[in-house]
Amino acid sequence: ATMAATKASKEQKYDRQLRLWGDHGQETLENAHVCLINATATGTEILKNLVLPGIGAFTIVDGHTVSGEDAGNNFFLSNNSIGRNRAQAATELLQELNGDVSGNFVEESPDKLLDNDPEFFHRFTIVIGVQLPESTCLRLGSVLWNASVPFLICKTYGLIGYMRLVVQEHTVIESHPDNALEDLRLDQPFEEFKNHTNSYDLDSMDKKDHSHTPWIIIVAKYLEKWLSEHNDQLPKNYKEKEAFRQTIREGIIKTDGGVPEDEENFEEAIKNVNTALNLTKVCGVIQLIFYHSSCVCRVFSLIHLPVRGTIPDMIADSQKFINLQNVYREKAMQDAAAVSKHVECLLRSVGKPPESISEKDIKLFCKNASFLRVVRCRSLAEEYSVDSVNKDEIASYMDNPDSEMVFYLMLRAVDRFYQQHSRYPGVYNYQVEEDINKLKVCVNSLLQEYSLSVNIKDDYIHEFCRYGAAEPHTVSAFLGGSAAQEAIKIISHQFVPFNNTFIYNAMSQTSATFQL
Amino acid sequence: MVQLVGSLRKELADSLYTCKVLVVGAGGIGCELLKNLVLTGFKNIEVIDLDTIDVSNLNRQFLFQKKHVGKSKAQVAKESVLQFCPSANITAYHDSIMNPDYNVEFFRKFMLVMNALDNRAARNHVNRMCLAADVPLIESGTAGYLGQVTVIKKGLTECYECQPKPAQKTFPGCTIRNTPSEPIHCIVWAKYLFNQLFGEEDADQEVSPDTADPEAAWNPEEATARASASEKDGDVKRVSTKEWARSTGYDPIKLFNKLFKDDIMYLLTMDKLWKKRKAPTPLDWTQLENKASPQEESPASGLKDQQVLGVWGCCQLFKHSVETLRSELREKGDNAELVWDKDDPAAMDFVTSAANLRMHIFSMNMKSRFDVKSMAGNIIPAIATTNAVIAGLIVLEGLKILSGELESCRTIFLNKCPNVRKKLLVPCVLDPPSKNCYVCASKPEVTVKLNVQKTTVLSLQDRILKERFGMVAPDVQIEDGKGTILISSEEGETEANNSKYLSDFGIRNGSRLQSDDFLQDYTLLINVLHTEELERDVEFEVVGEAPDKAPPPQSNPEEVNSITNGNKDSAQPSTSSKGQPQTRKRLSQKEKKNLHGHDL
C-alpha cells in the first residue's frame, strides 16, 4: 500500500513533466546517478534543475572551499558556508529540494581522483564538469570516452556560456519528431489489412455506415481500383493524384436529386490522399543506422520497418475505428514478435540470456523504428589535436568576425592563458592592462598553432579581460537550464541532444551550435 | 555578503542597490526570477501572487517544499529567498494584481515590472497598468520546452495587446448540449455539469438538452413523442439541476439514469439532429451492471491514469466520485459550493467518468484520465529547465533596460532544440507600437458588430468590455449629447439596466459608447455596428479582426526565421484533432508571438 501511495504522490508531483517524457522517461531519471564536478553557481543551477524533476542520485566532486564570491553568486551556498568544503555545503542545500533524491559528495579535486582512482567515474550515468581547466577536461574526457560515459562540459565565462558534449555514441529510440508521417502502408498493404478492407462493401452500405467508414478504408478501396486500372502504378504526380481524388469524390452518396451528401469521412479521405500515398520506405538516416550497427532489425530493414501500429484519429464510429486500429495493432505485435525472435537468436549467439532485452523495449523500438537516431560526437582529443582539428568549421564561421565562433576561440585562448600563468586574465584589477597583452599573445599562438588565418578583433580580447573569469548568476541560470535539459535528453534517451559545441552570448541573447 | 560585480559596469551595479522592481507571479518563472534578481544584486523587490502552493508545483518551483503545500506562494517564496539572501528587502502580497489597491500610483513606484503570469486577463491588465504608469514591462511565458521573453515600453515598443491574440476557444451551446462530436465537447459538458451539480450554477453552462436548437426544428407530427419524453423529464425542468440532484440526495444511480439515459432519450426525439449524424445510444445502469465483466478492470502496466477505463469502469468511477463530492459538500454545510479543480482527485474523477460516458454514448473513442486532465485543465507541461532559461533571459533584458539601452532589447524565442540554422535562441528586434492598437494608441477606438435588440447591458459589460477588452471595472457613457450613463462601476448605481437591451437606451447602428476603466486609466471608444446576421451562438464580432486567425506575418526579425517550431507538443491540449495529420508547420514571427506560454 505504501508503494502505491508513493507512486501516486510521485505521479502528482511530476504530473507536468510526465506529459513530456512519460513514466518510462521518468523511470530512467529515477535510476540515474549524476556526477557534478565543481559546485559553482553554474554547477548548482544545473544540479537544481535535475534534482527537481527527480534524478535518483547525485554526487558532487569538489576540492574547493566556499569563498565569499561563491556565497555571493550561488543560491545554494550561504555566508555560513564560507570556509567549508563546497561539495558538502552545496549537497546539503540541494538535498532539501527533493526528498526522493539521494545526495552525495566527495571532498576532493577531480585531478586527485583521476590520479588515484580513475575508475571512480565509471559508475555514473553522466558526468557534468563545470569551470574545469583544459588539462582536467582532456584527462577526464579520455577516461570517460573509453568507459562510454557521457561527459558534458559547461563553462560560464562573463557574459558567455559554453557547453561541449563528449560521447562516443548515444542512441535515441524516441526522438519525438515534430512532424512524423503516419505509417499506414497503403502502397504496400499487408494481408490482414487487405482482408479487413475487403470486409467492407461501400456500395451496399446504408447511409449511416457509409458516412462512418474510416477514411483509410475509403482510400484503400479506391486505390485498389485505381491500381487495377493503371497497371499497378500509384498516382504519382499532381494530375494523377487529382484524378484519384475525383474517383473518391464520385463515391460520395447522392440524394435522389443527385446532389452529393455531406460525407465528412470522404472529405477526410480526399484531404489525406497525399499523406496516404506516401511511399513506405526506410529513410536515409535509418538505413545508415542499420548499416553501421549489428542491428537486429536488419531482417526488416531490407524490405521495410516493423509496422508502427497506430493510426490517426478520424471520423468513424467507435466500432469501425477500433476494428481498424486492431488490424494495425495486431500487425505491429506480429512484427514485434518477429523482431523479438530474432533478438533472442542473436542474444543466444553471443551467450546472453534472452530476457536481457525486455519485451517492452523491443516493442518501443519497433514502434519508433523510423524515428531512431544515433549521435556520435568527436572526442576532445580529436578536437584539440593539430591533425584533426575541424579547421573548416572554424574558418567558415569566422568569415563573419562576430560569429559566436569567436567566443569559442577566445575561450581556448583563455585556457592557454591559464596554463601559462596559473590564473585567468583580468581577475586582479591592477593587472588588467598587462593581461590584455598577454591574452593577445595567447590568441595569436593559438591561431598559429592550428594555422588558422582568421582575425579576432581587439574588442573581444578587451572584453574577455574585463570579465575576469566572473560567473554572473543570471548567465549561470541560463546555462543551468540548458545544460540540465541536455542531461535529461541523454539520461532518458529521448529527444536529440546537440552535437557537440554550444555557445551562448548573453550580450546579444544569441546562441549557436558547432561541430568541433 | 560579497557581491560579485564581475561583468556589470559599476554604475549599473550601484543602481541595482537602489531601484525597486515588481515581480508579478511567484510560480515557475517567478521562483527562478526572484533567485536571479537577488543574486544579480537587486535589493528591493516586491512580489505578488494570489495562488497557493500545490504538489504539482514542486517539480520546478524550487522555493517551495512539500511542507508548504496550501500556503501562499508569494509569502513562502519571500521567506525561502530571505533564508538564502537575508540582506534582500522583499515585500510579498498574497493577492490578485487586478485588485484595485494596486493602482497606477502603486505601479509608479517601480523602475521595472516583470510578469511571470499564466493567464491572459492578468497579462492584459498589467500591460495597461504599466502603460498608464509609464513603467517598462518585461513579459514572458513558457510551455514545455518553448519559451519567450519580450520588453514593452510605452510609446517605443508594441504593447502586449498591439497584436490581436487568437480568441480562446469556446464552443456553441448546442454542440455541448445536443450534438457533441469531439471528446473536448464532452469534457466541457462534464465540467459544466460539475458546476451545475456541486458548484456555482451558471446559466451559460446548461447541460440538459437544448430544445431551442435551430437545427432541431420539429415536424408537428412528432409532437407526441416529444411531449411524452418531456413528461418524464417534467419534474427536472421545473427545478434547477442542483435542486433536483439535492432532492434525490445526490443518488449516483438516479443521476446516472437521468444524465445518460433519460436526457439522451429525449435528445433522440429531436430526430432531425440525427439525420446526418450517428445517433447517441442511451446507457442504463442496471443493464450495464448485469453484463459487467470482472476482467474489464484488468490493470495493465504503466501509470493508472494513462489507462482508458471501460464503460463499467467509468460507471463505478462516476458513482464513487459523486459519493465523495456529496460528502465534501455536506461537510461544508448548507448552500456550500465546490469549486472545480483539476488537482482535486474527486472533481477530476467526476469529470473523467462523466465525459467518458458521454463520449461512449456519442460513439467517440474514450480518453484516459491523464488526457482528460490535460484537456479539462488546459494543462501545459512545465519543467524546471525551460523556466530557468527564461528567467535568466529576463534579468539580462532587465539590466539592459536599467542601463538605458532599450534599443538593444529584444524579443527572444527559445526553441525545443537548435533550429535548422543551429540556433536555440531567436532574438528579434522590438516592433514599434501599432497605430491601431485598441489599448496603447493615443485615442483607442474599435467597431463592434452586434444586434442592439438582442444584446443586454450585462452582456456588453461582461462579455464585451470585461472578457473581450480586458477591463476590470468599466463605466460606460452613451455619446448621445446627454451623456447618458449606461454602466457605472459604483455598486448598485446601474444594476437596473443590466437585463435591458441596448436598443432600450436608444443605441442603434452608428451609436458611440465611451467606456472608461478608472483603475487602468484607460478609455475606449466603441462604435456600434448593428447587424441581424451573426452566426448561431455568436454574440458580437470586433470589426477588422478575424477571430481564431493568426495575424499576417510581418515584423523584422534579425535573422530570417524559418524554424519548425514544436508548438504541437504531444501534451498540448488539442481541441480539434479529428483526422488532421500533423503537417509540417512553419510559424511566422507573428504567429510565434501568439504562442504564449502559461507557466507562471
> Which residues lie across from A154 on neighbouring strands?
A130, A163
Min Cα–Cα distance to chain A from B380, Å? 7
B174 catalytic per annotation: yes
How far, in Å, are A205, B271, B366 from residue A208 at the CA level? 8, 14, 21
3-class secondary structure, B535: coil
Instruction: Note the ipTM here.
Output: 0.75
Instruction: Answer yes or no: do A176 and B39 touch at CB < 8 A.
Output: no
* Size of the A and B interface in Cβ pairs below 8 Å: 245
Q: Where are the alpha helices (DSSP H) in A83-133?
A: 86-95, 110-116
Neighbours of A14 (CB within 10 A): 24
| A interface test, pick of B62, B215, B307, B595 with most A CB neighbours within 10 Å | B62
Which stretches of chain B drop beneath a pLDDT of 50? 1-6, 220-221, 223-224, 227-228, 230-238, 296-300, 546-600
How far is residue B409's CA from residue B149's CA, in Å, rounded to a whole number?
10
Over the stretch A303-339, which tens digit does the pLDDT of each residue have?
678 899 989 888 888 788 889 999 999 999 999 998 8
Q: Does B568 touch chain A (CB under 8 A)?
A: yes
Written as nine digits, the cell of A450 is 592550428
Average pLDDT over residues A444-449: 96
The pLDDT of residue B219 = 52
Q: Among residues 159-198 of chain A, which lie with CB inside 8 Å of chain B? A: 159, 176, 178-182
The answer to whether residue A144 scores a pLDDT higher than 50 is: yes
Residues of B in contact with A505 (CB under 8 A): none
Q: Does A312 touch chain B (CB under 8 A)?
A: yes
Name the catalytic one among B130, B174, B186, B314: B174
Written as nine digits, the cell of A510 is 544569441
Residues of A in contact with B60 (CB under 8 A): 16-17, 52-53
Q: Which of A55, A59, A68 is nearest to A39 (CA)?
A: A59
How far is residue A441's CA from residue A429's CA, in Å, rounded to a whole number?
19
The pLDDT of residue B545 = 61
Is there a contact between B109 and B348 (Cβ–Cβ < 8 Å)? no
* Side chain identity, residue A427: V
Contacts of residue A503, Cβ cutoff 8 Å, sequence gap at least 6: A160, A161, A162, A404, A405, A407, A408, A511, A512, A513, A514
Q: What is the CA radius of gyration of chain B?
A: 26
**Across chain A, which distance is largest between two alpha carbons, in Å?**
96
The answer to whether residue A504 scores a pLDDT higher than 50 is: yes
Q: What are phi and psi of B45, to 5 degrees?
A: -130, 135
The pLDDT of residue B123 = 94
3-class secondary structure, A288: helix
Is there a contact between B354 and B196 (Cβ–Cβ < 8 Å)? no
How far, in Å, are A333, B69, B351, B363 from residue B311 at the CA level? 26, 35, 14, 12
Closest Cβ–Cβ partner in A17, A176, A502 for B383: A17
Average pLDDT over residues A6-27: 85
How far is residue A402's CA from residue A448's CA, in Å, rounded to a whole number?
20
Contacts of residue A168, Cβ cutoff 8 Å, sequence gap at least 6: A145, A148, A376, A377, A379
Instruction: Answer yes or no: do B55 and A13 touch at CB < 8 A.
Output: yes
Instruction: Answer yes or no: do A472 and B40 touch at CB < 8 A.
Output: yes
Instruction: Answer yes or no: do A20 and B365 touch at CB < 8 A.
Output: no
Q: For residue B564, what is the DSSP state?
A: B
How far, in Å, are B182, B249, B285, B378 from residue B314 at the CA level? 18, 21, 11, 22
The pLDDT of residue B227 = 45
Q: What are phi and psi of A116, to 5 degrees?
A: -90, -35
Q: Which of B435, B413, B379, B407 is nearest to B593 (CA)?
A: B413
Q: How many CA atoms lie within 13 A of A163 on its CB side?
A: 31
Give the lowest-confidence range in A198-212, A401-415, B243-257, B410-424: B410-424
Closest Cβ–Cβ partner in B2, B56, B276 for A15: B56
Residues of A in contact with B583 (CB under 8 A): 179
Which residues of B participate in the annotated binding site for Zn(2+)?
159, 162, 437, 440
Instruction: Answer yes or no: do A20 and B569 touch at CB < 8 A.
Output: yes
- First and final C-alpha spacing in chain A: 52
Instruction: Answer yes or no: do B579 and A272 touch at CB < 8 A.
Output: yes
Closest Cβ–Cβ partner in A20, A71, A178 for B2: A71
How far is residue B435's CA from residue B440's CA, in Å, rounded to a whole number?
8
Note the Cα B381 to chain centre separation in Å: 15
Neighbours of A259 (CB within 10 A): 9
Q: Does B576 touch chain A (CB under 8 A)?
A: no
Min Cα–Cα distance to chain B from A265, Å? 9
**Cis? peptide before A31, omega within 30° of 0:** no
Q: Among residues 127-156 of chain B, which lie with CB inside 8 Å of chain A? A: 144-145
Closest Cβ–Cβ partner in B66, B305, B385 for A11: B305
Average pLDDT over residues A71-77: 92
Mean pLDDT of chain A: 91
pLDDT tier at A293, thresholds 50, 70, 90: low
Neighbours of B100 (CB within 10 A): 11
* Side chain identity, residue B149: V
Q: What are phi and psi of B330, to 5 degrees?
A: -65, -40
B491-500 per-residue burial string, b: 16 or more CB within 10 A, e: under 16: eeebeebeee
> Which residues lie across from B120 on neighbouring strands?
none
Q: Does B68 touch chain A (CB under 8 A)?
A: no
How far is residue A8's CA from residue A212's CA, in Å, rounded to a whole number?
39
The pLDDT of residue B293 = 65
Contacts of residue B493, Cβ cutoff 8 Å, sequence gap at least 6: B485
* Side chain identity, residue B195: N
Q: Where are the alpha helices (DSSP H) in A250-372?
A: 264-271, 273-276, 284-292, 298-301, 318-349, 359-367
pLDDT tier at A290, thresholds 50, 70, 90: low
Reading phi first (left if > 0) and then psi (alpha if -120 to 50, else beta), residue B292 is in beta
Which pairing describes strands B44-48 and B137-143: parallel, antiparallel, or unpaired? unpaired
